[in-house]
Structure 1
């Protein structure tokens, strides 16, 4: 769609709900820089992650594939990292955004969280590499990172500030005569313990929020399913401890202030990067994307945390609704909102069409290009549904309905009529009045995964997950004692 490819600044926040941004209507949290980006660009109001965990969402953003295609079904557990081959990348065999752009002359760099394999070697396609040494964030202020020189400690400062400083260095030094793809991945706002439980006076924004009422945070009774996980014998002690911490975070004003402070810190960092683009005269030729790997519940339905923090997993909008804002002054319509249903798999084909790289096919991707929206026009093939999968739970969401289906033995299906029940409070799947709706949505869901699942990684049909899953014993019960997560080294994708 363009003759000269622009630079791309691709910013991914960690566990960032769309509803915790000012441009999405939140009045508790201050996000002036992200709001400015939305005012100067196009904001997709209904963007959703493919999965409610970090690693699968990141893999879908880069490959345009669903978890049952790329094989990453859950978080890649740091406790299993020693079992993975050195330099293992979970999506090595697929076309990815960085590899595709590097092959077409882009300078490429990743700064921040990786969580798609072992960070001890750059993901194929990245020339510059500065990665968080873990997947999970246990501390905002004392961490380890890995770059071309090796692994070293970052102590006494917030990891978001550190990654922003490094991104500023890159943007200051990068050769502006060649296009670049800079992927900045922040380890915040996160919304999970221990980092977000209780106060964080070391965050310079915390005092701004301390003592507020936070009306946008739901106050509800704790969901019994979350309480049951505290003593669930099938979970390891770390899982039970996580559940105890999530219960303590629930309805806690200090935790709410902490969350808002982390969102504001990310927002300030986005502002620093946008300002530097302006200073270097790069704004008009840089497509900036702001999104997240997944969302996070912060009190909705009596829950806090991920879609996998109940058993069986759930697919509430609150855990999957992510921001997606695209800005390029003079090229992408300013102040425009799009209400199209958008999934993470749409991003890769969208960027390829926008950059006029239509020869770069993300084979098997269910994603549809939204590039016409970025050019100010309509989309001919209007997405009328998005699809999700969280291990044993799969779902389809349309304008009117949200339907979830579980593997046999994991629980009954769920249906919400969003026209009558936008808050997803009343499950009507068993109502005779909705029998035809359930049948139709079930058929669409089944047909979608029949087309978009690789038998090697299809957990619903004996396939195996890469890296880790939450409850491996469930799949051993279904498929036999030999079933287990894999971390095989696949051939690197080449064009």
Structure 2
């Protein structure tokens, strides 16, 4: 009997020692704050060369850390890119190709998430001793309770931002309405409070702070803004916003849909863009002011980080889900508003700034970075030796330190439904699914950074086209999930622009299918 007692005591001692060691290891890990703006192209920030828009807090963050000049989103829509940020997967792997329709959520289980079947960043960090928090825009599933490994949960009811004011908030196990303030002010205050609450805890945290702004889409950014920065921009020339003629592609779509009794969602957006956004000084001033408003709340949160004594043990990552058009090439809003989709860099080039305590300050890195690299790097920064299964991502942690640089990839990839893209150091090549969807495009980014001259049919560039096409095919052969590979008859979660074309391509049995799949934790 005594031996049994001794054995039991030894087991308890061993378990306690393991738990203590795990707790000690967790205490040594850095806090990680991931700040994600909504629809913010890199070119909208002062630190990326914008001469008009005031973003002093984000610019200062860049002087305190590393600024990546060539980071690109995996897609031009927010649901797919947010899924990539959490999983490290391409849209053809995780299944979100366009957007999630808020109306569709009413037909899905109350705990449904578009990426619950995959290993995610919050789940993995929580496994390794982190407290995890999600504050802000979600838009990759139901908002009603914490998902994917998040402990702390503050979001709002809808994925699409119809207004920055008067929002229904889900705050952990409570729901209430916030009125009288811009939602990003509310989110900034919640994030600051979370940081202050963690000032004296030993457990490291991972917080995703996902602002609703600047958004840049109608109706939110249409006409005058209600935020406190609008009055400054109202009379400014804002020369960084192009005044190009509206795209002929848009006009042709409008003419083709004339007389339709029921306009599609994209047709309705087109009409708003043409009638109330393009060329409107009030709309442009609105857009500029929303970027400054995001910056002000970044400052609020960084101040709280310093006041809480957490700054020297917290890695800060600033990025956005993807960019948008705001007049370039006569295009506005998202990559899917044109037909076929377009992959110009203004809509895919995202800011990426990382401040790591003890690392280089004011460093600028020109290496090509894919959005799928960010979650892989987050795990590396946390000291976690855990792969994100099937991800093409690589860690750029070494690039944050003095003396480290060089290339991470010789090419990165992005996609939008029927169009796939490859970006090398010199070229950007878009490949269409087939001729029915449109022509391929090739741009020499060294000679033509604004992407005005298509070289895809030029005789001198056929070897380049052939090489890039083959490289793209090889990449997608390795990094596609047959269930969600649109180019080979796979389906898509949520909504898809121009689904009739896919049905015509693959037959009447092809259909969109937003599946409910067992969570990753259930099938490890």
Is residue 190 of structure 1 aligned with residue 215 of structure 2? Answer: yes
Partners of 1:44 and 1:176 in 2: CA distance: 32
CA contact (8 A) 1:88 1:487 kept: no
Is residue 17 of structure 1 aligned with residue 41 of structure 2? Answer: yes
Partners of 2:501 and 2:397 in 1: CA distance: 41
Q: What's the counterpart of residue 239 of structure 1?
A: 266
Instruction: After TM superposition, list the pairs within 5 Å mapping 1:340-351 onto structure 2.
Output: 340-351=367-378
Distance 1:451 1:374, change over 3 A: same
Q: What's the counterpart of residue 433 of structure 1?
A: 460
Q: What's the secondary structure of 1:261's corresponding residue?
A: helix
Higher helix residue share: 2
Q: What's the secondary structure of 2:53's corresponding residue?
A: coil
CA contact (8 A) 1:232 1:240 kept: no
Q: What's the counterpart of residue 58 of structure 1?
A: 82
CA contact (8 A) 2:132 2:207 kept: yes
Match of 2:379 among 325, 348, 352: 352
Q: What's the secondary structure of 2:520's corresponding residue?
A: coil
Q: What's the counterpart of residue 211 of structure 1?
A: 235
CA contact (8 A) 1:231 1:240 kept: no
Q: What's the counterpart of residue 384 of structure 1?
A: 410
Q: What's the secondary structure of 1:157's corresponding residue?
A: strand
TM-score (norm 1): 0.96
More displaced, 75-84 or 30-39? Answer: 75-84
Q: What's the counterpart of residue 245 of structure 2?
A: 221
Partners of 2:363 and 2:256 in 1: CA distance: 47
Match of 1:251 among 269, 279, 297: 279
Instruction: After TM superposition, list the pairs within 5 Å mapping 1:51-450 onto structure 2.
Output: 51-174=75-198, 176-200=201-225, 202-233=226-257, 236-247=263-274, 248-329=276-357, 331-358=358-385, 360-378=386-404, 382-408=408-434, 409-450=436-477
Measured after TM superposition, the shift of residue 289 of structure 1 is 0.7
Measured after TM superposition, the shift of residue 231 of structure 1 is 4.9
1:278-317 deviation per Cα after TM superposition (whole angstroms, max 9, x unaligned): 1111101000111000001111101111111100001000
Partners of 2:239 and 2:502 in 1: CA distance: 41
Measured after TM superposition, the shift of residue 478 of structure 1 is 1.5
1:226-248 deviation per Cα after TM superposition (whole angstroms, max 9, x unaligned): 22333554984432221112223
Partners of 2:239 and 2:266 in 1: CA distance: 30
Q: What's the secondary structure of 1:143's corresponding residue?
A: strand
More displaced, 29-38 or 124-133? Answer: 124-133
Q: What's the secondary structure of 1:187's corresponding residue?
A: strand
CA contact (8 A) 1:283 1:328 kept: no
Measured after TM superposition, the shift of residue 109 of structure 1 is 0.8
1:382-410 deviation per Cα after TM superposition (whole angstroms, max 9, x unaligned): 31211011000001011111100111210
Partners of 2:293 and 2:110 in 1: CA distance: 33
Q: What's the secondary structure of 1:230's corresponding residue?
A: helix
Partners of 2:121 and 2:90 in 1: CA distance: 15
Measured after TM superposition, the shift of residue 75 of structure 1 is 1.0
Measured after TM superposition, the shift of residue 85 of structure 1 is 2.1
Q: What's the counterpart of residue 464 of structure 1?
A: 491
Partners of 2:180 and 2:507 in 1: CA distance: 48
| Unaligned runs of at least 5 residues, structure 2 | 1-25
Measured after TM superposition, the shift of residue 453 of structure 1 is 0.2
Q: What's the secondary structure of 1:487's corresponding residue?
A: coil
CA contact (8 A) 1:326 1:332 kept: no
Structure ID, larger Rg: 2
Partners of 2:112 and 2:174 in 1: CA distance: 17
Is residue 493 of structure 1 aligned with residue 520 of structure 2? Answer: yes
CA contact (8 A) 1:209 1:257 kept: yes
Distance 1:488 1:150, change over 3 A: farther
Distance 1:418 1:206, change over 3 A: same
CA contact (8 A) 1:230 1:241 kept: no
